[in-house]
C-alpha cells in the first residue's frame, strides 16, 4: 500500500503528470484508432449478420462496448474521487472531473444506439427496458456530478463535492440496477434486448467485440489524459511550468 | 440533561429548528399544499373514471410525496450557512454527524410524516383499493426517511449555492429511484395479489443503512463546503 | 509589554501558517502563540487576510501550509471547542435572544454562575430577551452574540472584529468582557482594522500586511 501511495504521489506533481501524459497520449490514441478500425471492419463488414435480428444487430459492436465503458468510467471517476478526498491529490480531483463528461458521452452513445436498434426490433425508439432504464438513470447520475462541479465557484471545492457525490452514486449504482431489474420483472416488461442470448457467442462476433472493448478503453485513456492536462494547465496557469507549456520556455514579456 | 453534552446538542438543534419552523408555519405547510394540489390535478388531467385512477393511485401518490419532500430540502442547511450558526456547530466539540442527524430527523418529522399522515385522504380521493392502503402507508413510512437522508446529503453538497433547486433535484432523483421502485412496487404487488415481503424488507434494509451512514456522509459533505 | 507570565504552554499556537487560494496568496506564512490570560490583537487593513486567518485557526478552513496546535496537541479536530464570533453572528432571525443563548449552551456547554437572563442583562439587552432577533438592530444583535460568549463555557475565544457595529458603550462592554475573560484564565484572539484601541490589561499585538502575489 505504501509503495502504491508513493507511486500515486509521484503523479501528484502537476508538472510531472503533464510530461508523462504528453508522452502517453499519442500512443493511446494510435492504439484506439488501430483497434477501433479493425474491430469495426470485422464487426460491420466482415462478420456475419445475426441470424435472428439481421443486420441491425451489428450496432451492438458500438452499443455493448459503450455500455461497458459507461460503468467502467463511473467506477474510475469514483475511485479517482476517493483518492482526491482521502489524499487530497490535485491531479486526482482533475482526473475525476475530466472523466465525468467522457462517461456521460459513452452513456449517451449507449442510449442512442440502443434506441436506434429498438426501432426495427421493437417498432419504437424507446421501450422501458431494464437495461436502457438503468443507463438512463446512470446518465442522470453523471449529470448530477458534472452539474455540481460546475455550479461551485471554487474548482477544488467543486471537485471534492462532486467526488463525494460520485462515491454516493457508486454505492447506489448496484442498488439502482437491482431495483430496476426487479421493477422490470414486476411489470413483465419486454424481454428481448441487445444482450439476450449472447452467452454462446460465435467467435466471429466475439473478436470484434473484444477489439472494440480495447479501442474504447484506449480512447478513454487518451481523452482522459488530454482533458486532465488541459485542466491542469488552466488551473496552474500562474505557475512557471504552465507558462512554459503555453508560451514556450521563455516567459512572455508582461 | 447537562448542557453541552452530545444529547443536549442533538435536542438543542432540533428544538431551535422546530421553533423557527413553527414561527414560519405557513412556509412549513408548503409540501402539504403542493401534494394536495397535484393530487387534484391528476383526475382533472386523466378524467374522473374511477377504475383508471384506482389503478395508478399508488404510483401517483409515491411520486407526489417524493417531489413534495424535495421542496423543503433546499432550505435545510441554507439558514445555518448564511447566518453563521454552522460555524458555531463546527467550533463546538459536538460530532457534526449527530447535529446533522438532528436536522434530518426534524426534516422528516416536518415533511415526511405529515405527507404520510395525509396519504389516507389522498388514497381515498383517488380510489385506491382499501386493501392496498396499509401497504402504501407502510412503504411510505419506511421510504420517506430514506428520502430525507439522501436529500439532506444533497442539500449539504449544494448548501453554498445561490440557486440550488434544480441541481438538488438532479442530484436527488436518480439516487432515490430504488426507493420509488420498491415503494410503488410494493403497492402494485399488493394490488395484483403477489407478496409484498421482498420490497418491504428491501425498504427496511435501506432505511437502516441510511440511518447508519447518512448522517456521516452528510457531515462529510458539510465539512467539504467549509474546507 | 510582558509576553507571558505563566510557564504553561500556549493555548493555541500556529507555525508556518499560510493560505493560498486559487494561486493567490491570502496570508502568511506566519507564527503565532496565544497563552492563557492574554488578548492577542491582530491588526490589518481590509484584504490583509484577518478573517481567513481566524477561520483557519478555528479549524473551519484547512490551511495550505503549516500547522495549528491546541494546548500542544496538533490535530484538525481538536481545535474545537472554542468561542467563535464572525460577521455572520450565528443568530436565527425568528428566535429570541433567550432561545439563542439556550441553543449556544446546548452546543458549547454552560458557563457556571451566569444565567441567560443575567448574561443578556449585562450586555444591555434587558427587556429584549423575548423579542425575535429579526427586530433587533445590528448593534443589539452583536450584543446578543457577545452574551452567547459570556453564557457558554469556552476558554478560548476567536473574535472577528468584535468592536464593529457597536456604539461607544458597546465598545466599553467588549473591553469589559475581554478583561473578565482573561482574568478567569481565558484567552482571546481578536482582529481589528486598527481604528479602535482595546482597553484591556494584557494585550499583545500582531500586524498583518497585504501579501503581494
Tens of pLDDT, residue by residue over B47-72, are 889 898 998 999 999 999 999 999 88
Cα gap B102→B79, rounded to integer Å? 15
Average pLDDT, chain A: 85
Does residue C28 sit in helix, strand or coil?
A: strand
Does B206 lie at the interface with A, CB-CB under 8 angstroms? yes
Using CB atoms, pick whichever of B173, B181, B188 lies closest to residue A180: B181
Does A238 lie at the interface with C, CB-CB under 8 angstroms? yes
Residue-wise pLDDT tens digits, B89-137: 999 989 999 999 999 999 999 999 999 999 999 999 999 999 899 999 9
Looking at per-residue confidence, does A191 or C114 come out higher? C114
Does residue A31 sit in helix, strand or coil?
A: helix
Interface contact flag, C92 B94, Cβ < 8 Å: no
Q: Which chains touch B (3 or more CB pairs under 8 A)?
A: A, C
Cell of A26: 499519442
Q: What is the pLDDT of residue B227?
A: 56
Cα gap B188→B62, rounded to integer Å? 11
Q: What is the pLDDT of residue A2?
A: 60
Interface contact flag, C90 B88, Cβ < 8 Å: yes
Residues of B with CB under 8 A from a CB of C: 2-4, 8-9, 11-13, 15-16, 19-20, 23-24, 79, 82-85, 87-94, 226-227
What is the band of A112 on the pLDDT scale with cuts at 50, 70, 90? very high
Looking at per-residue confidence, does A82 or A155 come out higher? A82
Using CB atoms, pick whichever of B170, B189, B206 lies closest to residue A144: B170
Q: Shortest Cα distance from A235 to chain C (angstroms)?
A: 8
Q: How many CB pairs under 8 A join A and B?
A: 76
Q: What is the pLDDT of residue A194?
A: 54
Q: What is the pLDDT of residue A250?
A: 62
- Chain A: residue nearest C24 by CA? A238
Strand partners, C24: C21
Three-state SS string over C171-200 comes to HHHHHHHHHHHHHCCCEEEEEECCCCCCCC
Does residue C42 sit in helix, strand or coil?
A: strand
Give buried/exposed letters for A62-77 (b at 16+ CB in 10 A, else e): bbbbbbbbbbbbbebb
Cα gap B94→C80, rounded to integer Å? 9
The stretches in chain C having pLDDT less than 70 are: 1-8, 75-78, 210-213
Does A78 lie at the interface with B, CB-CB under 8 angstroms? no
Does C52 lie at the interface with B, CB-CB under 8 angstroms? no
Cα gap A130→A142, rounded to integer Å? 18
CB-count burial class (<10 Å; 0-12, 13-18, 19+) for C191: buried
CB B115 within 8 A of CB B68: yes
Cα gap C31→C15, rounded to integer Å? 5
Q: What is the pLDDT of residue A241?
A: 81
Complex prediction ipTM: 0.91
Residue-wise pLDDT tens digits, A117-171: 888 888 888 888 888 899 999 999 999 999 999 999 888 889 999 999 999 999 9
Using CA atoms, how far residue A92 sits from A26, A142, C79, in Å, is: 21, 17, 29
Average pLDDT over residues B25-46: 92
Amino acid at each position: 500500500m505504501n509503495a502504491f501511495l508513493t507511486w500515486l504521489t509521484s503523479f501528484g506533481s502537476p508538472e510531472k503528470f503533464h510530461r508523462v501524459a504528453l508522452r502517453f497520449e499519442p500512443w493511446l490514441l494510435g492504439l484506439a484508432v488501430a483497434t477501433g478500425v479493425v474491430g469495426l471492419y470485422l464487426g460491420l463488414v466482415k462478420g456475419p449478420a445475426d441470424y435472428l435480428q439481421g443486420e441491425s444487430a451489428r450496432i451492438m459492436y458500438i452499443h455493448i462496448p459503450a455500455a461497458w465503458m459507461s460503468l467502467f468510467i463511473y467506477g474510475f471517476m469514483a475511485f479517482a474521487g476517493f483518492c482526491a478526498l482521502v489524499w487530497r491529490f490535485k491531479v486526482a480531483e482533475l482526473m475525476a472531473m475530466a472523466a465525468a463528461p467522457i462517461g456521460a458521452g459513452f452513456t449517451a452513445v449507449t442510449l442512442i444506439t440502443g434506441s436506434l436498434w429498438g426501432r426495427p426490433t421493437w417498432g419504437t425508439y424507446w421501450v422501458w427496458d431494464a437495461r436502457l432504464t438503468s443507463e438512463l438513470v446512470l446518465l442522470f447520475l453523471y449529470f448530477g456530478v458534472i452539474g455540481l462541479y460546475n455550479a461551485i465557484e471554487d474548482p477544488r471545492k467543486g471537485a471534492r463535492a462532486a467526488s463525494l457525490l460520485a462515491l454516493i452514486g457508486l454505492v447506489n449504482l448496484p442498488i439502482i440496477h437491482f431495483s430496476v431489474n426487479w421493477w422490470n420483472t414486476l411489470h413483465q416488461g419486454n424481454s428481448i434486448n441487445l444482450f439476450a442470448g449472447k452467452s454462446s457467442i460465435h467467435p466471429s462476433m466475439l473478436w470484434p467485440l473484444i477489439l472494440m472493448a480495447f479501442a474504447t478503453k484506449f480512447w478513454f485513456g487518451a481523452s482522459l489524459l488530454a482533458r486532465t492536462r488541459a485542466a491542469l494547465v488552466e488551473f496552474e496557469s500562474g505557475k512557471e511550468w504552465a507558462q512554459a507549456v503555453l508560451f514556450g520556455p521563455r516567459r512572455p514579456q508582461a | 440533561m447537562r448542557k453541552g453534552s452530545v444529547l443536549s446538542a442533538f435536542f438543542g438543534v432540533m428544538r431551535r429548528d422546530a421553533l423557527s419552523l413553527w414561527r414560519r408555519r405557513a412556509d412549513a405547510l408548503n409540501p402539504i399544499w403542493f401534494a394536495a394540489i397535484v393530487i387534484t390535478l391528476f383526475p382533472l388531467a386523466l378524467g374522473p373514471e374511477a377504475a383508471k385512477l384506482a389503478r395508478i393511485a399508488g404510483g401517483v401518490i409515491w411520486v407526489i410525496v417524493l417531489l413534495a419532500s424535495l421542496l423543503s430540502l433546499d432550505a435545510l442547511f441554507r439558514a445555518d450557512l448564511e447566518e453563521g450558526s454552522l460555524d458555531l456547530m463546527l467550533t463546538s466539540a459536538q460530532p457534526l454527524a449527530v447535529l446533522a442527524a438532528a436536522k434530518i430527523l426534524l426534516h422528516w418529522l416536518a415533511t415526511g410524516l405529515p405527507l404520510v399522515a395525509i396519504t389516507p385522504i389522498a388514497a381515498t380521493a383517488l380510489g385506491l383499493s382499501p386493501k392496498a392502503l396499509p401497504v402504501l402507508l407502510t412503504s411510505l413510512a419506511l421510504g420517506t426517511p430514506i428520502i430525507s437522508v439522501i436529500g439532506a446529503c444533497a442539500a449539504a453538497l449544494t448548501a453554498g449555492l445561490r440557486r440550488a433547486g434544480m441541481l438538488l433535484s438532479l442530484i436527488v432523483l436518480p439516487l432515490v429511484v430504488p426507493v420509488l421502485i420498491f415503494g410503488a412496487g410494493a403497492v402494485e404487488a399488493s394490488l395484483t395479489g403477489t407478496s409484498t415481503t421482498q420490497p418491504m424488507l428491501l425498504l427496511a434494509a435501506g432505511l437502516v443503512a441510511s440511518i447508519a451512514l447518512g448522517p456521516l456522509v452528510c457531515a462529510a459533505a458539510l465539512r467539504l463546503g467549509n474546507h | 509589554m510582558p509576553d507571558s507570565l505563566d510557564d504553561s504552554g500556549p493555548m493555541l499556537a500556529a507555525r508556518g501558517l499560510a493560505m493560498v487560494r486559487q494561486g493567490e496568496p491570502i496570508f502568511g506564512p506566519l507564527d503565532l502563540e496565544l497563552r492563557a490570560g492574554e488578548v492577542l490583537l491582530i491588526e490589518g487593513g481590509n484584504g490583509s487576510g484577518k478573517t481567513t486567518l481566524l477561520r483557519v485557526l478555528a479549524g473551519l478552513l484547512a490551511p495550505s501550509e503549516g500547522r495549528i496546535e491546541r494546548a500542544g496537541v496538533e490535530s484538525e479536530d481538536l481545535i474545537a471547542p472554542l468561542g467563535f464570533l464572525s460577521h455572520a453572528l450565528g443568530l436565527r432571525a425568528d428566535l429570541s435572544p433567550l432561545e439563542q443563548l439556550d441553543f449556544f449552551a446546548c452546543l458549547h456547554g454552560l458557563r457556571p454562575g451566569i444565567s441567560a437572563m443575567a448574561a443578556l442583562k449585562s450586555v444591555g439587552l434587558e427587556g429584549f430577551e423575548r423579542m425575535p432577533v429579526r427586530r433587533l438592530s445590528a448593534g443589539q444583535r452583536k450584543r446578543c452574540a457577545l452574551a452567547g460568549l459570556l453564557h457558554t463555557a469556552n476558554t478560548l475565544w476567536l473574535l472577528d472584529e468584535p468592536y464593529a457595529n457597536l456604539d461607544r458603550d458597546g465598545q466599553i462592554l467588549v473591553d469589559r468582557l475581554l478583561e473578565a475573560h482573561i482574568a478567569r484564565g481565558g484567552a482571546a484572539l481578536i482582529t481589528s482594522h486598527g481604528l479602535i484601541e482595546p482597553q484591556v490589561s494584557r494585550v499583545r499585538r500582531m500586524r498583518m500586511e497585504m501579501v503581494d502575489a
